[in-house]
Amino acid sequence: MPKPLTITTPGERDIVVVRQFDAPRDLVWLCFSKPELMRRWYGLPDWTMTVCEMDFRVGGKWRYVTKSPGGYEMGSQGLYTEIAEPERIGQTEYYDDDWTKGGSDNVIVFTEGDGRTTATMTVTYSSAEARAAAVATPMAEGMEIGFKRLDDLLAEERA
């Protein structure tokens, strides 16, 4: 079982999420670039992905909509700005509830070593204020996970 992801904020506009996978890079790449695979993993387990459109080419549009068990829908979309198979995907991201004031530029970099792949996702907001605005606003209403996650997280790490 791979280690939990790490989240850091190296710059004043960035959020960086790093995670390792027990699979070769080509395979991980497919899971990030094919809608039929993407929709099998993106989102919380009890949510359903109702829209997964990926015009996977530079300048192409993507759009996701995920739906909570209670019927709340969270939509996001953007354009692909860079595709360098199997290393790098750049894309813009805007949420339908535009609380980030201008969205973000996201880059995912895949590196391979010992048959494992590390995915590093860097989300760059337009300004430090925009990042603060994003973080100060609920990521998704109805996503009732709450503060008790700390307990669960602790239980996982202790296990």
- Residue 96 binds another protein (CB under 8 A): no
Stretch that binds another protein, among 41-49, 55-63, 78-86, 104-112 (CB under 8 A): 41-49
128 binding another protein? (CB under 8 A): yes
14 versus 79: smaller Cβ distance to another protein: 14
45, 59, 71, 113: residue in contact with another protein (rule CB under 8 A): 45
Cβ count within 10 A of residue 6: 11
- The minimum distance between CB 22 and another protein, in angstroms, equals 7
Three-point CA angle 88, 108, 82, nearest 5°: 45
Among 33, 35, 37, 67, binds another protein (CB under 8 A): 37
Alpha-carbon span 8 to 18, nearest angstrom: 9
Minimum gap (Å) between residue 37 Cβ and another protein = 7
Tokens for 18? 């790093």
Which residues, listed in sequence order, are joined to residue 98 by a DSSP beta bridge? none
List the interface residues with another protein, window 2-31 (CB under 8 A).
Answer: 2, 4-9, 12, 15, 17, 19, 21-23, 27-28, 30-31
Place of tokens 């300048």: 59
Nearer to another protein (CB atom), residue 27 or residue 58 = 27
Which residues on neighbouring strands pair with residue 125, listed in sequence order? 104
Rounded-to-integer distance, Cα 88 and Cα 58, Å = 12
**Which among 56, 114, 45, 116 has a CA at the least distance from the CA of 81?**
56
Q: What whole-number distance in Å separates Cα of residue 77 and Cα of residue 58?
A: 14
| Sites of contact with another protein (CB under 8 A) | 1-2, 4-9, 12, 15, 17, 19, 21-23, 27-28, 30-31, 37, 40-45, 121, 128-129, 131-132, 134-140, 143, 145-151, 153-154, 157
